[in-house]
Amino acid sequence: MSKGGQSLGNPEARPSQAEAEAAVRTLLRWAGDDPTREGLRDTPARVARSYSELFAGYNVDPVALLERTFEEVGGYDEIVLLRDIRLESYCEHHMVPIIGRAHVAYLPANRVVGISKLARVVDAYAKRLQIQEKLTVQIANTINDVLQPRGVAVVIEAGHQCMSTRGVHKPGVSMVTSRMIGAFRDDPDTRRELLSMITPRAASPFEG
Ligand SMILES: [Zn+2]
Protein backbone atom coordinates (compact mmCIF):
# COMPACT_ATOMS: atom_id res chain seq x y z
CA MET A 1 0.00 0.00 0.00
CA SER A 2 1.48 3.35 -0.94
CA LYS A 3 1.56 6.12 1.64
CA GLY A 4 -0.56 8.36 -0.52
CA GLY A 5 -3.34 5.80 -0.68
CA GLN A 6 -4.72 3.51 -3.29
CA SER A 7 -3.35 3.45 -6.78
CA LEU A 8 -4.93 6.17 -8.85
CA GLY A 9 -4.27 4.22 -12.01
CA ASN A 10 -3.12 5.82 -15.20
CA PRO A 11 -4.68 9.33 -15.28
CA GLU A 12 -4.71 9.20 -19.07
CA ALA A 13 -6.97 6.18 -18.84
CA ARG A 14 -9.56 8.25 -16.95
CA PRO A 15 -12.75 8.42 -19.03
CA SER A 16 -14.15 11.74 -20.18
CA GLN A 17 -17.17 13.43 -18.58
CA ALA A 18 -19.21 12.45 -21.68
CA GLU A 19 -18.23 8.79 -21.25
CA ALA A 20 -19.17 8.92 -17.55
CA GLU A 21 -22.57 10.42 -18.43
CA ALA A 22 -23.17 7.72 -21.06
CA ALA A 23 -22.44 5.08 -18.42
CA VAL A 24 -25.05 6.62 -16.08
CA ARG A 25 -27.63 6.60 -18.92
CA THR A 26 -26.87 2.88 -19.40
CA LEU A 27 -27.48 2.20 -15.69
CA LEU A 28 -30.75 4.17 -15.78
CA ARG A 29 -31.96 2.09 -18.74
CA TRP A 30 -30.77 -1.08 -17.02
CA ALA A 31 -32.77 -0.16 -13.90
CA GLY A 32 -35.83 0.07 -16.15
CA ASP A 33 -36.25 3.81 -16.64
CA ASP A 34 -36.08 6.14 -19.62
CA PRO A 35 -33.07 8.51 -19.48
CA THR A 36 -34.67 10.78 -22.10
CA ARG A 37 -37.69 11.68 -19.95
CA GLU A 38 -37.68 15.20 -18.56
CA GLY A 39 -36.87 14.35 -14.92
CA LEU A 40 -33.83 12.28 -15.87
CA ARG A 41 -32.46 14.39 -18.71
CA ASP A 42 -29.83 16.18 -16.59
CA THR A 43 -29.28 13.32 -14.15
CA PRO A 44 -26.19 11.82 -15.84
CA ALA A 45 -24.41 15.20 -15.73
CA ARG A 46 -25.41 15.69 -12.09
CA VAL A 47 -24.24 12.21 -11.12
CA ALA A 48 -20.89 12.74 -12.82
CA ARG A 49 -20.47 16.07 -10.98
CA SER A 50 -21.47 14.57 -7.66
CA TYR A 51 -18.95 11.76 -8.17
CA SER A 52 -16.13 14.29 -8.30
CA GLU A 53 -17.30 15.52 -4.88
CA LEU A 54 -18.00 12.10 -3.32
CA PHE A 55 -14.65 10.74 -4.48
CA ALA A 56 -12.59 13.90 -4.02
CA GLY A 57 -10.17 11.92 -1.84
CA TYR A 58 -8.45 10.46 -4.90
CA ASN A 59 -7.08 13.94 -5.60
CA VAL A 60 -5.79 14.55 -2.06
CA ASP A 61 -2.40 13.45 -0.72
CA PRO A 62 -3.00 12.61 2.98
CA VAL A 63 0.73 12.65 3.72
CA ALA A 64 1.08 16.25 2.54
CA LEU A 65 -1.76 17.29 4.89
CA LEU A 66 0.31 16.30 7.93
CA GLU A 67 3.66 17.67 6.91
CA ARG A 68 3.32 21.03 8.68
CA THR A 69 3.74 20.50 12.41
CA PHE A 70 4.29 22.68 15.50
CA GLU A 71 7.03 22.02 18.02
CA GLU A 72 6.11 24.71 20.56
CA VAL A 73 3.78 22.55 22.65
CA GLY A 74 4.79 23.65 26.18
CA GLY A 75 5.78 20.11 27.08
CA TYR A 76 2.33 18.71 26.33
CA ASP A 77 2.70 14.95 26.00
CA GLU A 78 -0.76 13.57 26.80
CA ILE A 79 -3.40 12.18 24.48
CA VAL A 80 -4.66 14.46 21.71
CA LEU A 81 -8.09 13.21 20.65
CA LEU A 82 -10.38 14.49 17.92
CA ARG A 83 -13.70 12.87 18.68
CA ASP A 84 -16.89 12.42 16.65
CA ILE A 85 -15.52 13.37 13.26
CA ARG A 86 -18.38 13.01 10.78
CA LEU A 87 -17.51 10.23 8.35
CA GLU A 88 -19.00 9.85 4.88
CA SER A 89 -17.57 7.13 2.72
CA TYR A 90 -18.67 4.67 0.05
CA CYS A 91 -18.60 0.91 0.22
CA GLU A 92 -16.36 -0.43 -2.51
CA HIS A 93 -18.49 -3.53 -2.97
CA HIS A 94 -21.85 -1.84 -3.54
CA MET A 95 -21.01 1.86 -4.05
CA VAL A 96 -23.51 2.95 -1.39
CA PRO A 97 -22.82 5.19 1.63
CA ILE A 98 -20.99 4.30 4.82
CA ILE A 99 -22.04 6.96 7.34
CA GLY A 100 -20.68 7.31 10.84
CA ARG A 101 -18.03 8.94 12.92
CA ALA A 102 -14.35 8.57 13.50
CA HIS A 103 -12.29 9.18 16.64
CA VAL A 104 -8.63 9.90 15.98
CA ALA A 105 -6.03 10.13 18.75
CA TYR A 106 -2.29 10.33 19.03
CA LEU A 107 0.32 10.73 21.74
CA PRO A 108 2.63 13.48 20.53
CA ALA A 109 6.40 13.15 20.64
CA ASN A 110 7.68 16.75 20.64
CA ARG A 111 5.39 18.01 17.88
CA VAL A 112 1.73 18.34 17.11
CA VAL A 113 -0.29 18.91 13.97
CA GLY A 114 -3.12 21.41 13.42
CA ILE A 115 -6.21 19.66 14.74
CA SER A 116 -8.27 20.18 11.57
CA LYS A 117 -5.64 18.25 9.67
CA LEU A 118 -6.69 15.04 11.43
CA ALA A 119 -10.23 15.52 10.11
CA ARG A 120 -8.84 16.22 6.64
CA VAL A 121 -6.88 12.98 6.69
CA VAL A 122 -10.09 11.13 7.57
CA ASP A 123 -11.81 12.78 4.59
CA ALA A 124 -8.91 12.13 2.23
CA TYR A 125 -9.30 8.38 2.76
CA ALA A 126 -13.07 8.36 3.32
CA LYS A 127 -13.86 10.12 0.02
CA ARG A 128 -12.81 7.04 -1.91
CA LEU A 129 -14.32 3.61 -2.43
CA GLN A 130 -13.57 1.82 0.80
CA ILE A 131 -14.15 -0.95 3.25
CA GLN A 132 -14.22 0.25 6.85
CA GLU A 133 -11.35 -1.97 7.95
CA LYS A 134 -8.98 -0.62 5.32
CA LEU A 135 -10.10 2.96 5.94
CA THR A 136 -9.30 2.59 9.66
CA VAL A 137 -5.82 1.22 9.00
CA GLN A 138 -4.97 3.79 6.33
CA ILE A 139 -5.81 6.74 8.59
CA ALA A 140 -3.85 5.34 11.54
CA ASN A 141 -0.81 4.28 9.51
CA THR A 142 -0.51 7.60 7.73
CA ILE A 143 -0.60 9.57 11.00
CA ASN A 144 1.94 7.17 12.49
CA ASP A 145 4.28 7.31 9.48
CA VAL A 146 4.28 11.09 9.13
CA LEU A 147 4.08 12.37 12.73
CA GLN A 148 5.99 9.47 14.30
CA PRO A 149 4.17 9.94 17.61
CA ARG A 150 4.35 7.59 20.62
CA GLY A 151 1.00 6.12 19.67
CA VAL A 152 -1.96 6.39 17.32
CA ALA A 153 -5.52 5.20 17.79
CA VAL A 154 -8.34 5.30 15.26
CA VAL A 155 -11.83 4.08 16.11
CA ILE A 156 -14.60 4.19 13.51
CA GLU A 157 -18.28 3.50 14.15
CA ALA A 158 -20.42 3.48 11.00
CA GLY A 159 -23.62 2.25 9.45
CA HIS A 160 -23.46 0.61 6.04
CA GLN A 161 -26.30 1.24 3.63
CA CYS A 162 -25.41 -1.90 1.74
CA MET A 163 -26.67 -3.68 4.85
CA SER A 164 -29.63 -1.45 5.76
CA THR A 165 -31.34 -0.67 2.46
CA ARG A 166 -30.52 -3.90 0.60
CA GLY A 167 -29.15 -7.36 1.28
CA VAL A 168 -30.02 -8.43 4.83
CA HIS A 169 -31.97 -5.16 5.50
CA LYS A 170 -30.76 -4.55 9.02
CA PRO A 171 -30.96 -0.80 9.79
CA GLY A 172 -29.60 0.60 13.05
CA VAL A 173 -26.60 -1.71 13.05
CA SER A 174 -23.24 -0.03 13.36
CA MET A 175 -19.87 -1.55 12.73
CA VAL A 176 -16.94 -0.63 14.94
CA THR A 177 -13.33 -0.97 13.85
CA SER A 178 -10.15 0.16 15.55
CA ARG A 179 -6.47 0.37 14.89
CA MET A 180 -4.11 0.89 17.83
CA ILE A 181 -0.41 1.58 17.35
CA GLY A 182 2.44 2.15 19.83
CA ALA A 183 1.43 3.02 23.41
CA PHE A 184 -2.27 2.54 22.61
CA ARG A 185 -1.50 -1.03 21.66
CA ASP A 186 1.16 -1.88 24.23
CA ASP A 187 0.11 0.01 27.37
CA PRO A 188 -3.24 -1.10 28.88
CA ASP A 189 -3.54 2.14 30.94
CA THR A 190 -3.13 4.35 27.89
CA ARG A 191 -5.62 2.31 25.95
CA ARG A 192 -8.10 2.42 28.84
CA GLU A 193 -7.71 6.20 29.15
CA LEU A 194 -8.46 6.60 25.45
CA LEU A 195 -11.51 4.36 25.55
CA SER A 196 -12.88 6.31 28.53
CA MET A 197 -12.47 9.53 26.52
CA ILE A 198 -14.52 8.06 23.66
CA THR A 199 -17.70 7.81 25.69
CA PRO A 200 -20.31 5.48 24.27
CA ARG A 201 -23.62 7.06 23.31
CA ALA A 202 -26.98 5.92 24.67
CA ALA A 203 -28.60 5.41 21.29
CA SER A 204 -27.17 4.89 17.85
CA PRO A 205 -27.65 8.01 15.69
CA PHE A 206 -27.08 5.96 12.59
CA GLU A 207 -29.87 5.21 10.21
CA GLY A 208 -27.17 3.50 8.20
ZN1 LIG B 1 -21.27 -2.98 0.71
pLDDT digits (tens, 9 = 90+) for 82-98: 999 999 999 999 999 99
Q: CB–CB of 79/194 below 8 Å? A: yes
Q: Residue 157's beta-bridge partner residues?
A: 101, 176
Give 131 Cα–ligand 1 centroid separation in angstroms: 8
pLDDT of residue 4: 44
Contact 21, 48 (CB under 8 A): yes
Question: Count of CB atoms within 10 A of residue 102's CB?
Answer: 28
- Catalytic annotation, pick one of 6, 88, 94, 148: 94
Catalytic-residue membership of 6: no
The answer to whether residue 162 is catalytic is: yes
pLDDT per residue as tens digits for the range 23-44: 999 999 999 999 999 999 999 9
At 26, which amino acid appears? Answer: T
pLDDT of residue 166: 87
92 is catalytic: yes
Q: Model confidence over 7-22: pLDDT tens digits?
A: 555 666 889 999 999 9
With 0.85 as the threshold, say if the pTM is over it.
Answer: yes
6, 88, 92, 148: the catalytic one is 92
CB within 8 A of 78, min separation 6: which ones?
107
- Residue 3, pLDDT score: 41
**Ligand 1 mean position to 163 CA, how many Å?**
7
**Chain-wide mean pLDDT for the chain?**
90
pLDDT value for 1: 38
For β-strands 80-91 and 97-107, DSSP reports them as: antiparallel
Establish whether 93 is a catalytic residue.
Answer: yes
Q: What would the pLDDT profile of 184-200 be if each residue is shown by its tens digit?
A: 999 999 999 999 999 76
